[in-house]
Amino acid sequence: MSFFTKIFGGKSAEKGPTTGEAIQKLRETEDMLIKKQDFLEKKIELEIVNAKKNAAKNKRAAIQALKRKKRYEKQLQQIDGTLSTIEMQREALEGANTNTAVLTTMKNAADALKEAHKHMDVDQVHDMMDDIAEQQDVAREISDAISNPVAFGQDVDEDELEKELEELEQEALEDELIKVGPSTDELPDVPQAEVVKPRPAKKVDVDDELKELESWAS
């Protein structure tokens, strides 16, 4: 028996309650036991009052009240243990119910995925991807061919073009030399004011200096 058959049901003689039904039953039992606890706690309080009231004047009645209190306390302890067991069982069922819902969702998703892939063949998918790649290569080649400029005049002699370029450069150089030569319009104007000649420096009399030197030495 497969895992999903165990989870989602297979052939069985009897069909038990669902997890939801079991959880509901446990909750109802918990509520009943909690009410029983409240009843016993009230009975214990009442027996304590009776024991206190008869402690001095009716000792036998007081002892009987205490015995009943002990029985009620024992029953209360048993209910506490039962509630703990029921609570753990309910939590386990709630976890199983959650797991069942999750597994059901996962199984439905797996079935849907299987149905989606039913009409797909892996080889056909690979062939389709190869066709797409081939068409992309063709489109790329077409784009490259369109983007390359069309070459005209490939039969022109390169040496002839070089010679023509040198002639143009020579003509341009001669034009520049003609422009560099001075013209009459560019010569500076002759000054109209009278030119004053600088006075020559005063000539020093050598004889006078010699005479002054001799008089200073004597």
CATH number at residue 76: 1.10.287.1060
**Residue 11 belongs to some domain of the structure:** no
Q: Which H, E and C letters describe 89-144, residue by residue?
A: HHHHHHHHHHHHHHHHHHHHHHHHHHHHHCCCCHHHHHHHHHHHHHHHHHHHHHHH
Range list of H helices, 148-205? 158-180
**Residue 53 belongs to some domain of the structure:** yes
**Residue 99 belongs to some domain of the structure:** yes
Gap between the Cα atoms of 4 and 10, Å rounded? 9
Q: What value does the CA radius of gyration of the chain take, rounded to a whole number of Å?
A: 63
What confidence tens digit (pLDDT) does each residue in 119-164 have? 777 888 888 888 899 999 999 888 888 877 655 555 667 778 788 8
Q: Give the residue with greater pLDDT, 176 vs 6.
A: 176
**Residue 62 belongs to some domain of the structure:** yes
Say whether pTM exceeds 0.75: no
**Residue 95 belongs to some domain of the structure:** yes
**Residue 31 belongs to some domain of the structure:** yes
Residue 85's pLDDT band, with cuts at 50, 70 and 90, is: very high
How many domains would you assign to the chain? Answer: 1
**Residue 46 belongs to some domain of the structure:** yes
pLDDT for residue 49? 92
pLDDT for residue 152? 52
Q: Is the pLDDT of residue 72 over 80?
A: yes
**Residue 41 · residue 76 · CB < 8 Å:** yes
